[in-house]
């Protein structure tokens, strides 16, 4: 593939737009802090020197106290409530985090403080005693007490292990958008001023510390915690220069104290909190860091230390006892080295003295300058988090507004690393399908939405991480890998230690590629939609000594991308790229060979969602649209990106009326879920000994089809299905439209509103399993409105329908199914299910006790027979499982005859599933115990199912005849396969006269069978 940026898109010649002059405030922190483990509290004192480099006069000032997020009524805890998360709102006082500002002065004067987001206290506003003009400085002094929460979230504490992040009152950013005061939320991270940090920590003598910066004085505990063979620990004491120099500097007439001179480190200026030496059993460690926007640290007396070094950068790894397998023996060290090596290629030399990689309390990982706190030591996590030291740490974006610029960027470089090492394209396609699914379902939100405004965490992460990475990937595919490296390296070189935004990155990309990219970043960052180009026509002609191909390209999606086109023929390939702005465009392509194939976006690099309209020729036999093959009946239809899978499988079945039937089944799907279809065709039956011949009319064969999520009007219609059946004496057509009305598109519970139209009829009663259908020839049409909630601990499905039958019936029908589920720790789970259904009907002029046609009544043992029409092994009398086959729905009192339908029915069933047992050959078995009770009304004797002998029918007369059954079952499945076979033994039924197989005793061997997961 040529890397493409077509000339047509380069109309706008390059003139990098000049942003207003950006500034960065000059900040330095001198901090003293003492961790008292007996009261689990850190006491701190800080002196912050702040120079206003902006052109504005500042009248107030903001600090972030982010540990206050991890307590009730914080903005975070309250936002969580909207998502049903109560973690921090319900946290007990002893477990909460806090950060209490105890004293604050500006240039020695007390100031007024206010809490603009109260009851949230993660932001405090100070009213400056005097306005701070451009170029002038102030010194803030403050004391505070702080404690992380026991529920870890990018900070935390457990026993003597403390992950200190966001642990000190931190100066908010003042930039072009003025004060960036922002409460902390679950969605979104941080934005801070670059600063110099000089921090003295007073801790128990046995604590081992990892931190941002270099330990310039005191012992962090590494040597004594070192794993065997570590060698001499490199503390890098001299990195920031000797500890001498003036304690105060004077600039522009402003005297500012506490800022160490650049390469001449001053002695730690005492703030009065840690006077004298360390107490007995305590120690002090002084850390120094420059050009960082946060100082994080983690401490535990149990840490084990390993060190490494790459190109002059020290690597400090601190892991926990028991981690040796995953972290130890140099594993985490080497992976951190690998990350530094790769990142120095992608961006440039690592500018800090060290990188510290600690095993934090929480899983996952969080980035800090010079430091990552990780829950594991995988190469991908280390690449991601150490990558953040570049994108977020050194190239410091505002993570509330432009998370794509650090999360998307680091996800991109991580995937790029693995791609270069053989992972191939699959990871991009996986990311793509996650994003496309949200876009096609209309659930995507813009990448530049303010983080906490995403409707849920899953969408935030899909847009920021996944789509963010894909944006960089598409840029790389357009630019080519060499130019992409030039972009990333130039971006780093120009913006090292700067705040960055879209403009900064885009202007570098435009400069390197010498193209305007407003269209690209504009649409991918700020809007939603899909790319879809399709071939409307191809015409190949010979003109003199060349072949001329006219390619009609239609734009069917909202997004515009350059369109790569590939012509193939005579063993040759011609690649070109055309602009994709117009809705329809004809492109003329000359080739020395005769093209026999044309494909748009052959490399799948533009996120063109529908590749089914990208190929010419496109017939079902060409192979360019359908990947045909033999089906694996136990597996799902494969999910290809460039073609739809089409799978065939031979079938055979039999029944009493039709004899032995040969057939074929076809399944197809695109990208797993789109335009999914199942077709089963049966030939005319063959009469054979024992089966067939009962029919007076020869059935000409049968056809069943189910089409789900079809592509209509250029989009898949998720939730739409069309189902049809003709043959074996019956016909069915059903149209269902279901709309996802969930409050949160990705999280449980999911809610769906449903409307459906069903047309069904019987024309050959000899195929019908006794009792399941009203046997005389008739037809019916029924409409239904429904609602379904699934996921979460309970689910419900209600439906209300009305129908007309050609046997002069008008009926109404309603059903309700509710389910409660619970799972235990040892793998057992239990479910309680309530079903209620009723039909009422008028038959001619009279109210009919029989209700709706029999097939629309309530079935005691399982779902209605319309559902069973899809299954040739159970739909007709004399089929393999005509009495034992079980379909979902209905009363679910297993063990009763599947032909027992009642106008009104209420059942309550309970089921427990055990932990899976391994059977060998990859098979697993899940044991089940079930029981159910129900009451039902009996039908009118004239319409009673034939399994009810007249005497039994008489006895059941009237409402409230009781039913009950109990039994055990086992479900068997193969590990990879979604398909499971379930075999149930309802050994007890309360009224065996209407049981399936064996009506001569309440307790005896009966069985039912079902197949689930087959799609
Ligand atoms: Zn990240």
DSSP assignment of 187-218 equals S-------EEEEEEEEEETT-EEEESSEEEES
Instruction: Name which residue leads in pLDDT, 1000 or 889.
Output: 889
Measured in Å, residue 340 CA sits from the centre of ligand 1 at 16
Give the separation between CA 463 and CA 441, rounded to whole angstroms.
14
Measured in Å, residue 235 CA sits from the centre of ligand 1 at 28
Measured in Å, residue 670 CA sits from the centre of ligand 1 at 32
Residue 33 clears pLDDT 60, i.e. is over it: yes
- Give me the pLDDT at residue 11, please: 40
Residue 260 clears pLDDT 50, i.e. is over it: no
Residue at token pair 């902390």: 184
Measured in Å, residue 451 CA sits from the centre of ligand 1 at 14
Confidence band of 1001 (pLDDT split at 50, 70, 90): confident
Measured in Å, residue 383 CA sits from the centre of ligand 1 at 10
Least confident of 478-482, 845-849, 947-951: 947-951
Measured in Å, residue 410 CA sits from the centre of ligand 1 at 7
Measured in Å, residue 381 CA sits from the centre of ligand 1 at 9
Residue 642 clears pLDDT 60, i.e. is over it: yes
The residues, any chain, with a CB within 8 Å of residue 783's CB and separated by 6 or more, are 755, 756, 757, 758, 801, 802, 803
- Summarised one tens digit per residue, pLDDT across range 74-115 is 999 999 998 889 999 999 999 999 999 999 999 999 999 999
Residue 1000 clears pLDDT 90, i.e. is over it: no
Measured in Å, residue 406 CA sits from the centre of ligand 1 at 7
Give the separation between CA 362 and CA 152, rounded to whole angstroms.
6
Instruction: Determine which helix (DSSP H) or strand (DSSP E) holds 486, and give its type and residue range.
Output: helix 481-495
- Summarised one tens digit per residue, pLDDT across range 282-327 is 999 999 999 999 999 999 999 999 999 999 999 999 999 999 999 9
- Strand ranges in 469-583 using DSSP code E only, listed in sequence order: 498-500, 533-543, 546-555, 563-569, 572-578
Residue 122 clears pLDDT 50, i.e. is over it: yes
Instruction: Count the Cβ atoms, other than its own, within 10 Å of residue 981.
Output: 16
**199 is written with which tokens?**
């921090």
Is-contact 758 800, C-beta < 8 A?
no
Measured in Å, residue 775 CA sits from the centre of ligand 1 at 64
- Give me the pLDDT at residue 622, please: 79
Which residues keep their CB under 5 angstroms from ion ligand 1? 407
pTM: 0.89
The residues, any chain, with a CB within 8 Å of residue 618's CB and separated by 6 or more, are 535, 624, 625
- Give me the pLDDT at residue 698, please: 60
Is-contact 293 194, C-beta < 8 A?
yes
* Cα torsion angle, 457, 462, 467, 472, sign: positive
Is-contact 516 510, C-beta < 8 A?
yes
Confidence band of 922 (pLDDT split at 50, 70, 90): confident
Measured in Å, residue 408 CA sits from the centre of ligand 1 at 8
**90 is written with which tokens?**
């319900």
Is-contact 186 82, C-beta < 8 A?
no
Measured in Å, residue 385 CA sits from the centre of ligand 1 at 6
Measured in Å, residue 468 CA sits from the centre of ligand 1 at 11
- Summarised one tens digit per residue, pLDDT across range 822-843 is 998 888 999 999 999 999 988 8
Query: What region, left, alpha or beta, does residue 986 occupy, with left being phi > 0 and alpha being psi -120 to 50 degrees?
Result: beta
Measured in Å, residue 413 CA sits from the centre of ligand 1 at 11
- Give me the pLDDT at residue 10, please: 45
The sheet with strand 161-164 has its strands ordered as: 156-158, 161-164, 297-300, 208-211
Measured in Å, residue 606 CA sits from the centre of ligand 1 at 24
- Strand ranges in 695-749 using DSSP code E only, listed in sequence order: 702-708, 711-712, 715-716, 720-727, 730-740
- Summarised one tens digit per residue, pLDDT across range 657-676 is 888 999 999 999 999 999 99
Least confident of 13-22, 504-513, 810-819: 13-22
Residue 869 clears pLDDT 90, i.e. is over it: yes
Measured in Å, residue 361 CA sits from the centre of ligand 1 at 17
Measured in Å, residue 3 CA sits from the centre of ligand 1 at 28
Burial 380-403 (b: 16+ CB within 10 A, else e): bbbbbbbbbbbbbbbbbbbbbbbb
Residue 341 clears pLDDT 50, i.e. is over it: yes
Residue at token pair 């008028």: 842
Measured in Å, residue 391 CA sits from the centre of ligand 1 at 9
**507 is written with which tokens?**
């202007």
Nearest in space to 381 (alpha carbons), one of 314, 349, 336:
336
Q: Measured between alpha carbons, how far is residue 1011 from residues 724, 862, 982 in Å?
A: 20, 13, 6
Is-contact 649 641, C-beta < 8 A?
no
Measured in Å, residue 807 CA sits from the centre of ligand 1 at 66
- Give me the pLDDT at residue 992, please: 84
For the chain, give the number of residues.
1015
Least confident of 491-500, 674-683, 887-896, 957-966: 957-966
Measured in Å, residue 376 CA sits from the centre of ligand 1 at 14
Is-contact 651 680, C-beta < 8 A?
yes
- Give me the pLDDT at residue 8, please: 44
- Give me the pLDDT at residue 254, please: 59
Confidence band of 920 (pLDDT split at 50, 70, 90): confident
Measured in Å, residue 365 CA sits from the centre of ligand 1 at 7
Measured in Å, residue 403 CA sits from the centre of ligand 1 at 9
- Summarised one tens digit per residue, pLDDT across range 923-977 is 999 999 999 999 988 766 666 666 666 666 666 655 568 899 999 999 999 877 8
Measured in Å, residue 384 CA sits from the centre of ligand 1 at 6
Q: Once rounded to an integer, what is the mean pLDDT over residues 688-717?
A: 79
Measured in Å, residue 448 CA sits from the centre of ligand 1 at 16
- Give me the pLDDT at residue 844, please: 76
Q: Once rounded to an integer, what is the mean pLDDT over residues 476-496?
A: 96
Nearest in space to 452 (alpha carbons), one of 149, 166, 182:
182
Measured in Å, residue 419 CA sits from the centre of ligand 1 at 19
Count, in order, helices (H) and strands (E) of the chain: 14, 57
Measured in Å, residue 923 CA sits from the centre of ligand 1 at 38
Residue 13 clears pLDDT 60, i.e. is over it: no
Instruction: Count the Cβ atoms, other than its own, within 10 Å of residue 537.
Output: 11
Measured in Å, residue 310 CA sits from the centre of ligand 1 at 23
Confidence band of 3 (pLDDT split at 50, 70, 90): low
Measured in Å, residue 367 CA sits from the centre of ligand 1 at 7
**524 is written with which tokens?**
């991918």
Measured in Å, residue 12 CA sits from the centre of ligand 1 at 35
Q: Is 479 helix (H, G, I), strand (E, B) or coil?
A: helix
Measured in Å, residue 389 CA sits from the centre of ligand 1 at 10
DSSP assignment of 609-665 equals S-GGGSEES-STTTSSSEEEEE--TTSPPP--SSSEEEEEEEEEEEETTTEEEEEEE
Q: Once rounded to an integer, what is the mean pLDDT over residues 870-879?
A: 92
- Summarised one tens digit per residue, pLDDT across range 848-861 is 667 788 899 999 99
- Summarised one tens digit per residue, pLDDT across range 152-196 is 999 999 999 999 999 999 999 999 989 999 999 998 889 999 999
Measured in Å, residue 392 CA sits from the centre of ligand 1 at 9
Measured in Å, residue 968 CA sits from the centre of ligand 1 at 48
- Give me the pLDDT at residue 4, please: 64
Measured in Å, residue 167 CA sits from the centre of ligand 1 at 20
- Summarised one tens digit per residue, pLDDT across range 391-412 is 999 999 999 999 999 999 999 9
Give the separation between CA 448 and CA 435, rounded to whole angstroms.
15
Measured in Å, residue 407 CA sits from the centre of ligand 1 at 5
């Amino acid at each position: 593939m040529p890397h493409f940026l077509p000339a047509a898109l380069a109309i706008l010649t390059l003139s990098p737009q000049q942003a207003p002059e950006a500034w960065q405030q000059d900040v330095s922190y001198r901090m003293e802090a003492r961790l008292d483990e007996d009261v689990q509290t850190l006491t701190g004192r800080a002196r912050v020197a702040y120079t206003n480099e902006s052109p504005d006069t500042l009248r107030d000032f903001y600090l972030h106290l982010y540990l206050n997020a991890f307590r009730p009524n914080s903005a975070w805890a309250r936002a969580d409530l909207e998502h049903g998360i109560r973690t921090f709102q319900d946290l007990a006082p002893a477990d909460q985090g806090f950060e209490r500002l105890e004293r604050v002065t500006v240039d020695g004067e007390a100031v007024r403080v206010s809490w603009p987001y109260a009851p949230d206290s993660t932001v405090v506003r100070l009213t400056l005693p005097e306005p701070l003009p451009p170029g002038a400085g102030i010194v803030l002094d403050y004391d505070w007490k702080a404690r992380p929460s026991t529920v870890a979230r990018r900070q935390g504490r457990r026993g003597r292990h403390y992950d200190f992040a966001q642990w000190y009152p931190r100066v908010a950013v003042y930039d072009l958008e003025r004060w960036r005061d922002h409460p902390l939320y679950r969605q979104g991270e941080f934005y801070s001023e670059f600063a110099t940090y000089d921090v003295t920590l007073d801790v128990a003598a046995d604590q081992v510390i990892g931190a941002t910066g270099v330990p310039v004085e005191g012992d962090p505990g590494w040597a004594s915690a070192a794993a065997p063979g570590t060698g001499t620990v490199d503390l890098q004491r001299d990195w920031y220069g000797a500890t001498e120099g003036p304690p105060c500097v004077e600039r522009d007439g402003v005297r500012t104290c506490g800022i160490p001179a650049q390469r001449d480190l001053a002695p730690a200026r005492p703030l009065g909190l840690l006077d004298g030496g360390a107490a007995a059993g305590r120690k002090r460690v002084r850390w120094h860091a420059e050009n960082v926007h946060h100082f994080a640290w983690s401490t535990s007396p149990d840490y084990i230390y390993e060190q490494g070094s790459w190109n002059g950068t020290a690597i400090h790894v601190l892991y926990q006892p028991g981690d040796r397998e995953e972290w130890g023996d140099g594993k985490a060290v080497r992976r951190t080295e690998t990350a530094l090596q790769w990142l120095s290629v992608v961006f440039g030399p690592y500018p800090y003295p060290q990188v510290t990689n600690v095993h934090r309390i929480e899983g996952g990982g969080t980035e800090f300058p010079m430091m990552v706190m990780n829950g594991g030591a995988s190469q991908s996590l280390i690449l991601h988090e150490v990558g953040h030291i570049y994108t977020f740490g050194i190239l410091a974006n505002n993570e509330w507004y432009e998370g794509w610029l650090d999360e998307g960027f680091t996800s991109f470089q991580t995937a790029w690393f693995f791609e270069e090492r053989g992972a191939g394209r699959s990871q991009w396609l996986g990311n793509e399908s996650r994003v496309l699914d949200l876009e096609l379902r209309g659930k995507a939100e813009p990448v530049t939405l303010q983080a906490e405004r995403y409707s849920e965490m899953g969408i935030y992460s899909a847009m920021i991480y996944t789509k963010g990475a894909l944006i960089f990937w598409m840029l790389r595919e357009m630019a080519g890998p060499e130019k992409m490296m030039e972009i990333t390296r130039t971006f780093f070189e120009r913006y090292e230690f700067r705040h960055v935004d879209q403009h900064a990155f885009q202007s570098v990309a435009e400069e390197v590629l010498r193209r305007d990219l407003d269209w690209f970043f504009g649409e991918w960052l700020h809007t939603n939609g899909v790319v879809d180009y399709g071939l409307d026509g191809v015409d190949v002609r010979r003109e003199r000594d060349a072949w001329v191909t006219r390619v009609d390209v239609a734009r069917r999606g909202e997004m515009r991308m350059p369109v790569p086109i590939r012509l193939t023929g005579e063993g040759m390939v011609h690649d070109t790229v055309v602009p994709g702005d117009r809705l329809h465009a004809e492109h003329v392509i000359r080739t020395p060979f005769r093209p026999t194939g044309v494909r748009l976006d052959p490399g799948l690099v533009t996120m063109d969602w529908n590749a089914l309209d990208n190929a010419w020729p496109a017939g079902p036999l060409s192979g360019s649209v359908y990947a045909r093959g033999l089906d694996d009946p136990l597996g799902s239809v494969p999910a290809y990106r460039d073609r739809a899978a089409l799978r065939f499988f031979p079938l055979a079945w039999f029944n009493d009326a039709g004899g032995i039937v040969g057939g074929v089944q076809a399944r197809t799907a695109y990208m797993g879920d789109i335009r999914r279809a199942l077709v089963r065709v049966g030939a005319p039956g063959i009469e054979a000994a024992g089966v067939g011949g009962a029919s007076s009319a020869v059935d000409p064969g049968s056809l069943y089809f189910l089409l789900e999520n079809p592509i209509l009007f250029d989009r898949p219609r998720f939730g739409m299905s069309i189902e049809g059946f003709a043959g074996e004496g019956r016909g069915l057509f059903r149209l269902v439209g279901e709309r996802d009305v969930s409050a949160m598109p990705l999280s449980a519970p999911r809610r769906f509103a449903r409307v459906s139209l069903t047309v069904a009829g019987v024309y050959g009663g000899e195929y019908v399993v006794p009792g399941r259908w009203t046997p005389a020839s008739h037809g019916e049409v029924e409409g239904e409105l429904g609602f379904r909630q699934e996921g979460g601990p309970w689910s419900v499905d209600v439906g209300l329908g009305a129908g007309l039958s050609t046997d002069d019936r008008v009926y109404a029908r309603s059903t309700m199914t509710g389910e409660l589920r619970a799972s235990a720790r040892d793998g057992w789970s239990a479910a309680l299910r309530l079903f209620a259904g009723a039909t009422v009907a008028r038959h001619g002029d009279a109210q009919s006790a029989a209700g709706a046609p029999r097939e629309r009544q309530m079935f005691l043992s399982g779902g209605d027979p319309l559902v069973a029409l899809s299954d040739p092994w159970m739909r007709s009398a004399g089929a393999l499982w005509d009495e034992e086959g079980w379909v979902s729905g209905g009363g679910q009192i297993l063990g009763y005859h599947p032909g027992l339908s009642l106008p009104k029915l209420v059942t309550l069933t309970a089921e427990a599933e055990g932990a899976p047992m391994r059977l060998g050959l990859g098979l697993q078995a899940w044991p089940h115990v079930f029981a159910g009770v129900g009451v039902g009304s009996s039908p009118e004797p004239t319409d009673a199912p034939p399994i009810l002998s007249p005497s039994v029918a008489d006895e059941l007369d009237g409402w409230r005849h009781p039913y009950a059954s109990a039994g055990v079952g086992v479900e068997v499945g193969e590990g990879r396969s979604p398909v499971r076979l379930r075999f149930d033994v309802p050994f007890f039924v309360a009224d065996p006269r209407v049981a399936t197989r064996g009506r001569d005793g309440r307790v005896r061997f009966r069985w039912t069978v079902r197949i689930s997961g087959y799609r």
